[in-house]
Structure 1
Amino acid sequence: MSDKAVTGGSRRSLLKVGIVVLQALVLIGIALSVYAVGWFGKDIRVRTVPVDPRSLLYGDYVTLGYDISRLDPSLWKDTARKPEKGQPVYVVLKPGADGIAQPVGAYGSKPMAQEGEVVMKGRIDNSWREEILVKYGVEKYFVPEGTGKTLEDKASRLIVHMKVAPWGQAKIEGLEERS
């Protein structure tokens, strides 16, 4: 057998191994990004608003709506462009007197957070003159079997504990009922 045939076969094998390793690294990176939010994220609390959570396909879960998902257009600070559907948005949140996070600004690119603030990344779901609707990727919360209906009834009285990573990704840590 010639040296060229051996070298060509070795290169193909090496390429196959490289592709498998690359795929494994991508999957590990995705899994680590979720855990990294818990490790590096800052705690915030947000108030929920009622949403109908019915779906037979996903099992028991609660669809959560947040008061921080409905932004007043005056919070938009990006003067270079207007908010558009599908556009990434960075919402600056600061705890109010009651400890619940309140939006203080919305930007088209990531701003620097001041002391006591967190920057949560979302996507503009829709934008009107009256409000900007934002989805953060934490609108579904999976719950133990049989508890979804109970939480649905309490949706307007829930406080959600989240962690928000420095890069803006959020993760739900738990729910509590406010008095």
Structure 2
Amino acid sequence: MKKLLVMVKRRLFIIVIVLQLLFLAVMAGLNYVVEEFGDVIYLETEPYDPRDVFYGDYVNLNYTVENIHPSYWFGSEKVKRNKVINVLLKPDERGLYVVKAASDKSLEPQGKEVVIRARYLYKDHQNVRHVTYGINRYYIEEGTGENFNTINENMVVTIALSPWGQKKILKVEKMD
């Protein structure tokens, strides 16, 4: 009986170790799967000057699609802060994605449109709703921060969107 209990504990221990390793492999692999199978979109940023000595070299990105004007809002009037909402984006004539609609309900994309999840922040005095996509910080190679002087320039950010909602910044470059 004691021998059987030791065998069961040993097998359970091995199963737990294997599951942990499998979990780590899946987490690492998901990052690469987003790039391979996700939709690639291009978003325009607004000028912003980040300065923070504690975080190293990074670019803080403020997207134009984070401001949802009243004509694009099709959701409830009272939305709580940090609620997950859906934003329907469509490409414009330059190939950059702009807001077509936003709601706290589901939205259906057609053609090249995509739905991206965002967190609702607030509504300002002009009824513009502000959201965040959770991809506002892009870390760059140490010492290259001066190449990303975003004070007076708009930039284009290439983003991969997975079918399950994960987002990843692929590239940040100055707008032509």
| Global fold match (TM > 0.5) | yes
The corresponding residue for 2:27 is 30
1:1-179 alignment, distance < 5 Å: 4-79=1-76, 82-128=78-124, 130-153=127-150, 156-179=153-176
Q: Give the CA deviation at 1:122.
A: 2.0
Q: Give the CA deviation at 1:128.
A: 4.1
Residue identity over aligned pairs, in percent, reads: 31
Determine if contact 2:35/2:160 at 8 Å carries over to the other structure. Answer: yes
Partners of 1:16 and 1:25 in 2: CA distance: 14
Determine if contact 2:48/2:150 at 8 Å carries over to the other structure. Answer: no
Q: Alpha carbons of 1:6 and 1:43: their partners in 2 closer, same or farther (altered >3 Å)?
A: same
Letter in 2 for 1:125: L
SS of the residue corresponding to residue 94 of structure 2 reads coil
Partners of 1:56 and 1:107 in 2: CA distance: 37
How many residue pairs get aligned? The number is 175
* Structure 1: tracts of 5 or more residues without a match: none
Which structure carries more helix by proportion?
1
SS of the residue corresponding to residue 153 of structure 2 reads helix
Determine if contact 2:49/2:151 at 8 Å carries over to the other structure. Answer: no
SS of the residue corresponding to residue 173 of structure 1 reads strand
SS of the residue corresponding to residue 51 of structure 2 reads coil
Determine if contact 1:94/1:102 at 8 Å carries over to the other structure. Answer: yes
Aligned Cα root-mean-square deviation (Å):
2.1
Deviation per CA, 1:75-115, whole angstroms, max 9, x where unpaired? 23334x73321111221110012211001112335433211
Partners of 1:15 and 1:136 in 2: CA distance: 40
Partners of 1:78 and 1:6 in 2: CA distance: 62
Q: Give the CA deviation at 1:155.
A: 6.1
* Structure 2: tracts of 5 or more residues without a match: none
Q: Which runs of 4+ in 1 moved over 4 A?
A: none
Determine if contact 2:89/2:100 at 8 Å carries over to the other structure. Answer: yes
SS of the residue corresponding to residue 156 of structure 1 reads coil
Of 12-21 and 56-65, deviating more is 12-21
Deviation per CA, 1:34-82, whole angstroms, max 9, x where unpaired? 2121011122111111233222232211111100111124423334x73
Partners of 2:118 and 2:27 in 1: CA distance: 18
